Amino acid sequence: MDRYKKKHRKLIMLVQIIVIFYASIVSVSLLTNNTVAYYSSKSTVNTPISTASDWWDGSKLKFLGNGNEVIKSCSTIEISAEIKNKGKNMSKGTEYEVYYSSQEGNAKKHGEHIGDGIIPPLENGESTELSYEANEEGWYVFKAYQSVGYNDNYDERSVIWSKEFKIKCIENKQPKEEKETNETEDNIEGKDKEVTESEEQDDTNRDANHETDEETDSSDQTEESLPEDERLEGDEESKLEDGNEMEQGDQEEEINSEDVEQNQVNSGIEEEGEE
């Protein structure tokens, strides 16, 4: 053994130097690195942390207006529903949908999805209108989604419904109010026409009376303009005519009295004959 050591002394020294060198390198690397790898028998659980945008922002949407609305139209018409945020400010927008049913009933349950849109972020107390162009008869309703995590429910989205809109087409039927308005206008026009005709008749009568008065005045003026002799002759003629009429009246009275006396005589003779 001693002989072997003496013979390979240089080789042994070289191996020792190499071992010391590598040991020093390992020591230096451990001193400069704080992370130490180790094994553990405990299991780890990975829990995702949601960002602030996924948390419920505290908003609360609500449709305004109660009951159903009936709209009479045979052409395309815009329907709209007002929605308001009664909670905290919305951090981002949300969705809405439109449903339609051609039959009378509950469009919420039996309607088909025909449209959708985005509700912009609303501040507390702010409202906006959701609209849709309806072109068919039937029932329409809006469906809006609350913000994600509404009332801390992250499993499903909460929804709200608007009032229902009924589109009804009535052809060749005049609305009652419009009909009454037209009848009132016709009555007013008829009355105006009657008043106008009455005024025209009054004007005509006044013109006729005026012409008669003018003729009377002209005749009076004519008589006044005649000479005095002619006026006297006219008076004498009128007096003669009056005298003739009086004589005719006296003669008729005498004839009547004679007839009465003759009748009395005849009646007396008849009475004597009977006795």
Residues β-bridged to residue 160: 144
Six-digit token pair at 181?
Answer: 């308005």
pLDDT on residue 215: 59
Q: Which of 3-7, 95-99, 269-273 comes out lowest in average pLDDT? A: 269-273
Which one has a higher pLDDT value, 218 or 256?
A: 256
- DSSP characters over 78-136: EEEEEEEE-SSPPSS-EEEEEEEESSSS-HHHH-EEEEEEEEPP--TT-EEEEEEEE-S
* Strand 61-63 with 77-85, pairing: antiparallel
Q: Is 142 exposed, middle or buried (0-12, 13-18, 19+ CB in 10 A)?
A: buried
Q: Which of 215, 197, 41, 72 is nearest to 134 (CA)?
A: 72
Q: Quick one: average pLDDT of 140-166?
A: 94
What backbone phi and psi angles, to 5 degrees, belong to 118? -120, 135
Cβ contacts of residue 102 below 8 Å, gap of 6+? 136, 137, 138, 139
pLDDT on residue 275: 42
62-99 per-position pLDDT tens digit: 999 888 899 999 999 999 999 999 999 999 999 999 99
pLDDT on residue 167: 93
Query: Do 161 and 141 form a contact (C-beta atoms < 8 A)?
Result: yes
